[in-house]
């Protein structure tokens, strides 16, 4: 029997709806609606009291009108009146109207709350249900104020009917979502957790939803739910498909509840109790096993329900990220789904794999599916699925497959949907930068991006390519050549003109030797694009022109002619006009020297988080851009911690300074290698500090490290590119009172002894320093240990030559590096010696360099010496600093496989003593 | 959480609209229009999930939909819901409608809007899933209809007769017994219509 018989409809309503449906035009429809609204208004305002049937009919009409997209501005009062009716039908329609049409800040809310209060107190389960539904649907703050105290009582009361409990649980959940501050935790919380054991699966489902949300904010309070959820899940998973009767959905036992329970478990780490943990692992294995069984029904609903549970189980496995065996099985299962004929499953498999890719255990396993994913990108008909494929490729990318993935993404970009192009552009730009081994590849990739999807290349992307080219001079010549070639295309994107203009303005000289890209040709090429460009690009090009005046004096007059033309000097745009006037003037009156100073090459940009990454994060919301590197880093520092307890790894610290024989500028008077840990009585780990006043902020992450030692005895205390300090602590109880306590120390809480160690630490080596600490009395503040460390100023490095060891080229490189070439100072004429001064705002730092070639071995020995004294440089500054003398890095790059970290190390150890500080108990 | 449940036909005419977050009337209409355009251009047999961009003001939301004959059922959910689970829920909702209306069609949704809302209310409240067991849902709806029928007979009667019945004054007697009583009297009263 149908639950709704068709004959009992309201005739007036049916007539009205038919009228509307017969309307031939929008105007006719509006006319009919307005007529009806007027009719209802007059009925509501009329003297005659309306019976329930009429009220219901009119309210239904209003709902219908609302559905058609017309605002309803009356009838609320009538609806509220219906709430206090004793009749179910009237009450029901009143509540419906209010749930659909009343917004939360309505003035009527007090009246509504009154009616709800009465119904909640009525003990009539039907009325209570209506009232609870209304609270859940409206969920306003006023309602939370009125009922947040009451509903938990209804929820946990012993005599509440199951259906009311279900509604009450969800009602409370809604109130908690809108006004968490108004829902106090209390005695009821533990009783709510026990609802997980309820007989009625509907109640368990509603309770699970509630607990999941509450547990996210108050994990401690609901900790006990883990074991209950596991045992419930286990009972469902192992039950025969008919055991749960009505809650079996197409042969799958209680799929919805299983999904909710698995979600709840994702609020917590893996259970600590081995029994619970074992049971959960068993459940997850059973779910994975069931996926391999033949389906019990051919209906899509069966596989949907089964897979809903399976995907949630996989999410939990990924969340726990602790059982390599399960992770690999999950990955294989997803791999199967990647080729499933159901689009939905392919979509979800791609999505889940994205999170799996960031797990260390399964990253490699995910990578094996790269061909399938690339294929999905090419063949999927559905844009949602393709987008997931892009996300997954991004997540599985690492150094080993970056070139392939970037190439595939670029390919896809040509045909990609417009809606996702910008995102792909950002992703390609990030991957290209992050995994660039060879920066020429990076430049090619970005120029390709601009060529393929210029409109979607945001400012961040082309700013970034310029930053990188300016910061790395190994790529500048290549970049200039490549943009020059790209600009030859008859139609090129304006973004390319911008990049081209900027790069040629800076580095056009590097390709000017080639007659095919002589200064004049470069200029003419750029100027041919000028008139097609927008004002900001033209302004940029004008700056390029004035830079050309400096770079290429031979075309100065040509450029001056252009600047002098009416279209520039009298341009309607103020910015362009001003630039033209000023640049023209500058080029006329300034001497070559002044021009050279004013128009000098751009200084390197400070290194910071890629602005593109920031943009992608903003676009996708925080937390969605998983950075595998970061996660890995965290992990590996963890593991190092247990593997090598006490290690001090300093990088290349060299033999005594030969700088005196270079120029006689004098060796830096700074003391070499201060002894490691000095037993100063306090426990401040003060890394790299040579003066107490110069203190850099805590190294990032050190706070986390600190926190780890609250519960751990071993681990890495501090780590940067230069130095790693590990700590291994052992605790012993002294039964004999030590006589070593001196009178001097007796007022201190700690008694400290150190053993002398070798004062120098070789690169890559470990030194162990044993510190005996005796706790004399209790103390409040975390003690601080000072560790001082000063790297040598001079550094040597040997590397294999990658290029022919040609004297002239090497000289050019040293000059290009920014230092002067000193000939005939070194006793060995084969050696190259350079000297330069690094100018900073506050100080000037002398810098010496000697290159000794070994032609037989095809190796170079490079010695650097930087004269610094009492210069406190924090780590950030140091990075900038190494960039200031960046050409050296670049020089090394040309000869060696590029390893940024490595070269940075050299500079850090060569530069000066630095300051970092870490507080630690 | 489910943010909205939208049912519209192949021409984009809304047939059931339920928002569980407060949005102005114009915004609601715009969301309905944009959702329709999003799902309309997708052929059948492709994925049932799609990102809806900033339609609901956040990037976290997804549209999960099914297309039945002339109607689209679209649920807009956040990431706390299982996609396949919601797909099943749509199926449960539609199968329930089918049971309640006997071969449900678009016209049922138009002419029995209130009933459809009441049925939905037994499945989802405040954006959260209340019940997924179809038999339980149908049982609740049947109980409602019983109550309605009992009262429907009354309200159709002339008010004099109604007040006469009311004067019998049975408020203390539990409700369902009361209903049984009145039910018997209905045939006699209805001839006054």
Q: Who's near A13: CB < 8 A, 6+ residues apart?
A: A57, A60, A61, A64, B111
Q: Is residue B176 situated within a structural domain? A: no
pLDDT above 80: residue A861: no
pLDDT at A760 > cutoff 80: no
Domain hosting residue B105, numbered range: 1-151
Q: How many residues does chain A have?
A: 921
| Integer CA distances (angstroms), A899 to A1, A436, A859, A893, in order | 77, 11, 17, 8
Instruction: Give A863's contacts (C-beta < 8 A, 6+ positions apart).
Output: A654, A658, A794, A795, A796, A849, A850, A852
- State the pLDDT at residue A796: 62
Q: What is the pLDDT of residue A824?
A: 73
Mean pLDDT of A747-762: 62
Backbone torsions φ then ψ of A302, nearest 5 degrees: -65, -50
Task: Name the strand (E) or helix (H) holding B129.
Answer: strand B128-129
User: What is the full DSSP assignment across A468-512?
Assistant: HHHH-TTTHHHHHHHHHHHHTSSS--HHHHHHHHHHHHHHGGGGT
Highest mean pLDDT among A231-235, A450-454, A657-661: A231-235
| Helical ranges in A552-621 per DSSP H | 556-564, 566-569, 574-589, 592-598, 611-620
**Is B79 inside a domain boundary?**
yes
Beta strands in A250-361 (DSSP E): 252-253
Task: Tell me how close the Cα of B100 comes to any Cα of chain A, in angstroms.
Answer: 5
pLDDT score of A316 more than 90: yes
Contact residues, chain A, for B84 at CB < 8 Å = 304-305, 307-308, 311, 344, 348
Q: Quote the pLDDT of residue A721.
A: 58
Give whichever of A18-32, A37-51, A264-278, A647-661 has the largest mean pLDDT. Answer: A264-278
Mutation choice for A interface testing from B82, B140, B153, B178 by most A CBs within 10 A: B82
> How are beta strands A252-253 and A750-754 bridged, if at all?
unpaired
User: What is the predicted pLDDT for the residue at A227?
Assistant: 92
Whether A553 and A592 have beta carbons less than 8 Å apart is answered as yes
Confirm whether residue A171 is marked as ligand binding.
no
Inter-residue contact A916 to A689 (CB < 8 Å): yes
Report the helix count and the strand count for chain B, using DSSP H and E.
7, 7
- B163 inside domain: no
Rounded Cα–Cα distance for residues A74 and A890 (Å): 75
Q: Which parts of chain B sit beneath pLDDT 70?
A: 58-59, 152-193
A608: left (phi over 0), alpha (psi -120 to 50) or beta: beta
CA separation for the pair A24, A22 (Å, rounded):
6
Domain assignment present for residue B68? The answer is yes
**pLDDT on residue B36:** 92
Task: Please check whether residue B177 lies inside any domain of the structure.
Answer: no
Q: Give the pLDDT of residue B170.
A: 43
Using DSSP, state whether B50 is helix, strand or coil: strand
Query: Does the annotation flag A60 for ligand binding?
Result: yes
Residue among A201, A255, A348 whose CB faces B83 most closely: A348
- A167 and B130 within 8 Å at the Cβ level: the answer is yes
pLDDT, tens only, A414-452: 888 777 788 888 888 888 888 887 888 888 888 888 888
The whole-number pLDDT of residue A312 equals: 94
Reading the block at residue A60, the tokens are 């239904």
A59 is in an annotated binding site: yes
Residue A768 has pLDDT above 80, yes or no: no
Residue A870's region, left for phi above 0, alpha for psi from -120 to 50, else beta, is left
Report pLDDT for B123: 92
Check residues B178 and A213 and name the one with the higher pLDDT. Answer: A213
Q: Give the mean pLDDT of A526-551.
A: 86
Partner-chain residue, chosen from A68, A249, A382, that has the shortest CB–CB distance to B46: A382
Phi, psi of A198 (to 5 degrees): -60, 150
Q: To the nearest whole angstrom, how far is the Cα of A139 from the nearest Cα of chain B?
A: 7
The closest CB to that of B22, out of A52, A104, A167, belongs to A104
Instruction: Name the strand (E) or helix (H) holding B94.
Output: helix B83-101
Tell me how long chain B is.
193
pLDDT band at A279 (very low <50, low <70, confident <90, very high): very high
Residues in B touching A64 (Cβ below 8 Å): 113
pLDDT exceeds cutoff 60 at A686: no
A455-to-A495, A772, A851 alpha-carbon distances in Å = 8, 65, 47
Q: Calculate the alpha carbon distances from A358 to A281, A311, A318, A355 in Å.
A: 21, 17, 9, 6
Give me the residue from B42, B133, B175 closest to A247, CB to CB: B133
Distance CA A675, CA A664 (A): 28
Tell me what the mean pLDDT of segment A24-29 comes to. Answer: 88
Q: Which residue has the higher pLDDT, A210 or A891?
A: A210
**Does the CA dihedral A463-A465-A470-A472 come out positive or negative?**
positive
Interchain pair B101, A137: CB under 8 A: no
CATH number of domain containing B114: 3.30.450.60
List chain A residues with CB under 8 Å of B135: 246
Confidence grade of residue A780 (pLDDT, cut at 50, 70, 90): low
Closest residue to B155, CB basis, from A9, A51, A347: A51
| 3-state DSSP assignment of residue A794 | strand
**Is B47 within 8 Å of A132 when comparing Cβ atoms?**
no
Please give, rounded to a whole number of angstroms, the shortest distance from the CA of B190 to a CA of chain A. 14
pLDDT band at residue A12 under the 50/70/90 scheme: confident
Q: For position A688, what pLDDT does the model report?
A: 33
Q: Is A53 annotated as a binding residue?
A: yes
What residues of A are in contact with residue B112 (Cβ under 8 Å)?
4, 9
Query: A827: buried, middle or exposed (CB in 10 Å: 19+, 13-18, 0-12)?
Result: exposed
Residue B182 included in any domain: no
Neighbouring C-beta atoms of residue A685, cutoff 10 Å: 23
The per-residue pLDDT for B184 is 30
Residues with Cβ within 8 Å of residue A85, at least 6 apart in sequence: A52, A91, A94
Residues B39/B53, Cβ–Cβ less than 8 Å: no
| CA distance linking residue A53 with residue A73, whole number of Å | 22
CB A450 within 8 A of CB A462: yes
Q: Give the whole-angstrom CA distance, residue A608 versus residue A467.
A: 11
What is the rounded distance in angstroms from the CA atom of residue B148 to the CA atom of residue A90? 9
Q: Which residues of A touch B111 (CB under 8 A)?
A: 9, 13-14, 17
Question: Does B38 reside within a domain?
Answer: yes
- Asked whether the predicted pLDDT for residue A904 surpasses 50, the reply is no
Alpha carbon of A391 to those of A412, A415, A420, A452: distances in Å?
13, 17, 11, 20
CB of A752 within 8 A of CB of A772? yes
Task: Taking residues A857-876, report their average pLDDT.
Answer: 55
> Is residue A620 over pLDDT 70?
no
Q: Helix or strand or coil: residue A518?
A: coil
Read off the pLDDT band of A269 (50, 70, 90).
very high
Mean pLDDT, chain A, rounded, equals: 74
- A369: three-class secondary structure by DSSP: coil
Q: Please give the average per-residue pLDDT across A377-406, as a whole number.
A: 87
How buried is A556 (Cβ within 10 angstroms: 0-12 exposed, 13-18 middle, 19+ buried)?
middle
Closest CA to A312 of A263, A383, A251: A263
A260 annotated to bind ligand = no
Closest residue on chain B to A264 (Cα): B80
Domain count for chain B: 1
Most confident of A488-492, A732-736, A742-746, B160-164: A488-492
Question: Tokens 């022109």 — which residue?
Answer: A545
At B180, list the tokens. 């049984």
Q: For residue B104, tell me if it sits in a domain.
A: yes
What pLDDT does residue A808 have? 80
Residue A537, pLDDT > 80, answer: yes
Look at A67 and B15 and tell me if their CB atoms are within 8 Å. Answer: yes
Size of interface A-B (CB pairs under 8 A): 201
Alpha carbon distance A260, A312 (integer Å): 9
Predicted local distance difference test score (pLDDT) of residue A315: 93
CB contact under 8 A, B59 and A621: yes
| Cα–Cα dist A282/A677, whole Å | 51
Other C-beta atoms lying within 10 Å of the C-beta of residue B133: 22
- Mean pLDDT for A755-772 is 69
Mean pLDDT value across residues A735-746: 39
CB contact under 8 A, A621 and B87: no
Confirm or deny that A439 is annotated as ligand binding: no
């Amino acid at each position: 029997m149908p639950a709704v018989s068709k004959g009992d409809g309201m005739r007036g309503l049916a007539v009205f709806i038919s009228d509307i449906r017969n309307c031939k035009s929008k105007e006719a429809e509006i006319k009919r609606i307005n007529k009806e609204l007027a009719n209802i208004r007059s009925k509501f305002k009329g003297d005659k009291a309306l019976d329930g049937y009429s009220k219901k009919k009119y309210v239904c009409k209003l709902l219908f009108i609302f559905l058609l997209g017309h605002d309803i501005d009356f009838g609320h009062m009538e609806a509220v009146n219906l709430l206090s009716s004793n009749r179910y039908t009237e009450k029901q329609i009143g509540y419906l109207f209010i749930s659909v049409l009343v917004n939360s800040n309505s003035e009527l809310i007090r009246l509504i709350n009154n009616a709800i209060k009465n119904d909640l107190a009525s003990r009539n389960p039907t009325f209570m249900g209506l009232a609870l539904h209304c609270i859940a649907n409206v969920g306003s703050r006023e309602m939370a104020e009125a009922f947040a105290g009451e509903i938990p009582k209804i929820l946990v009361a012993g005599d509440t009917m199951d259906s009311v409990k279900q509604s009450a649980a969800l009602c409370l959940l809604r109130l908690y979502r809108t006004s968490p501050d108004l829902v106090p935790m209390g005695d009821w919380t533990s009783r709510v957790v026990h609802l997980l054991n309820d007989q009625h699966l509907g109640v368990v489902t509603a309770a699970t939803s509630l607990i999941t949300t509450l547990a996210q904010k108050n994990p401690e309070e609901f900790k006990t739910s883990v074991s209950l959820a596991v045992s419930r899940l286990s009972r469902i998973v192992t039950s025969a498909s008919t055991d749960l009767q009505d809650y079996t959905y197409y042969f799958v036992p209680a799929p919805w509840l299983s999904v909710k329970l698995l979600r709840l478990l994702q609020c917590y780490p893996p259970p600590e109790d081995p029994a619970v943990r074992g049971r959960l692992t068993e459940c997850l294995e059973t779910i994975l096993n069931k996926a391999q069984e033949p389906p019990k029904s051919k209906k899509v609903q069966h596989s949907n329900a089964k897979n809903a549970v399976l995907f949630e189980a996989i999410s939990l496995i990924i969340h726990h990220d602790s059982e390599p065996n399960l992770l690999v099985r999950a990955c294989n299962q997803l791999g199967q789904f990647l080729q499933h004929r159901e689009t939905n499953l392919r979509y979800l498999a791609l999505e889940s794999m994205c999170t799996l890719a960031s797990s260390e255990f399964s990253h490699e396993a995910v990578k094996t599916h790269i061909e399938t994913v690339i294929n999905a990108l090419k063949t999927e008909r559905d844009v949602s699925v393709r987008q997931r494929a892009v996300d997954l490729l991004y997540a599985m990318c690492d150094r080993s497959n970056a070139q392939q993935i970037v190439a595939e993404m670029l390919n896809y970009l040509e045909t990609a949907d417009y809606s996702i192009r910008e995102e792909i552009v950002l992703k390609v730009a990030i991957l290209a930068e992050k995994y660039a081994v060879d920066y020429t590849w990076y430049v090619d990739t970005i120029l390709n991006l601009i060529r393929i999807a210029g409109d979607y290349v945001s400012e961040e992307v082309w700013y970034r390519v310029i930053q990188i080219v300016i910061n790395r001079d190994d790529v500048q010549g290549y970049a200039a050549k490549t943009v020059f070639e790209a600009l030859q295309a008859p139609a090129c994107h304006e973004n390319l003109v911008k990049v081209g203009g900027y790069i040629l303005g800076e580095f056009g000289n590097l390709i000017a030797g080639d007659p095919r890209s002589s200064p004049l040709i470069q200029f003419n090429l750029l100027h041919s694009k000028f008139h097609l460009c927008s004002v900001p690009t033209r302004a940029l090009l004008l700056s390029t022109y004035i830079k050309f005046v400096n770079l290429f004096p031979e075309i100065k007059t040509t450029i001056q002619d252009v600047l002098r033309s009416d279209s520039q000097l009298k341009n309607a745009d103020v910015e362009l006009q001003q630039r033209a006037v000023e640049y023209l003037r500058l080029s006329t009156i300034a001497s070559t020297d002044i021009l050279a100073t004013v128009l000098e090459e751009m200084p390197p940009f400070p290194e910071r988080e890629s602005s593109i990454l920031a943009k992608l994060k903003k676009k996708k919301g925080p937390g969605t851009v998983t950075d595998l590197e970061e996660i890995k880093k965290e992990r590996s520092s963890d593991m190092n911690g247990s593997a090598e307890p006490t290690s001090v790894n300093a990088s290349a610290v060299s033999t005594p300074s030969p700088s005196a024989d270079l120029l006689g500028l004098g060796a830096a008077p700074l003391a070499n290698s201060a002894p490691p840990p000095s037993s100063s009585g306090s426990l401040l780990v003060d890394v790299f500090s040579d003066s107490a006043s110069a203190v850099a902020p805590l190294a990032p992450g050190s706070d986390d490290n600190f926190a780890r030692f609250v519960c751990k005895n071993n681990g890495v205390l501090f780590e940067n590119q230069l130095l790693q300090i590990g700590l291994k602590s052992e605790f012993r109880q002294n039964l004999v009172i030590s006589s070593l306590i001196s009178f001097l120390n007796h007022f201190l809480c700690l008694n400290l002894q150190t053993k002398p160690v070798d004062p120098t630490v070789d690169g890559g080596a470990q030194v162990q320093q044993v510190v005996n600490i005796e706790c004399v009395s209790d103390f409040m503040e975390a003690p601080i240990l000072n560790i001082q460390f000063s790297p040598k100023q001079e550094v040597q490095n040997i590397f294999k030559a990658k290029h022919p060891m040609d004297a002239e080229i090497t000289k050019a490189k040293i000059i290009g590096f920014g230092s002067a070439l000193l000939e005939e100072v070194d006793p060995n004429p084969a050696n190259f010696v350079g000297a330069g001064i690094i100018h900073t705002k506050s100080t000037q730092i002398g810098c010496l360099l000697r290159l000794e070639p070994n032609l037989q071995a095809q190796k170079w020995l490079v010695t650097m010496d930087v004269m610094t004294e009492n210069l406190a440089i924090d780590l950030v500054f140091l990075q900038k600093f190494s960039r200031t003398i960046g050409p050296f890095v670049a020089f090394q790059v040309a000869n060696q496989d590029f390893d940024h970290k490595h070269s940075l190390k050299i500079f850090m150890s060569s530069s000066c003593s630095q300051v970092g500080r870490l507080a630690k108990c | 959480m489910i943010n909205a449940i939208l049912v519209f036909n192949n021409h984009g005419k809304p047939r059931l609209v339920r928002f569980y977050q407060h949005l102005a009337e114009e915004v609601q209409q715009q969301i309905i229009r944009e959702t329709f355009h999003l799902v309309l251009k997708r052929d059948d047999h492709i994925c049932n999930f799609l990102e809806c961009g900033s339609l609901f003001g956040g990037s976290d939301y997804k549209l999960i939909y099914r297309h039945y004959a002339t109607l689209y059922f679209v649920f807009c959910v956040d990431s706390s819901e299982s996609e396949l689970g919601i797909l099943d829920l749509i199926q449960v909702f539609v199968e329930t409608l089918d049971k309640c209306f006997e071969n449900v069609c678009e016209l049922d949704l138009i002419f029995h809007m209130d009933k459809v809302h009441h049925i939905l209310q037994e499945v989802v409240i405040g954006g959260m899933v209340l019940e997924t067991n179809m038999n339980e849902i149908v049982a609740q709806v049947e109980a409602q209809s019983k109550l309605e029928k009992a009262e429907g007979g009354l309200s159709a009667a002339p008010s004099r007769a109604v007040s006469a019945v009311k004067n019998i004054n049975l408020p203390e007697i539990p409700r369902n017994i009361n209903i049984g009583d009145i039910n018997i009297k209905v045939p006699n009263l209805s001839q006054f219509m």
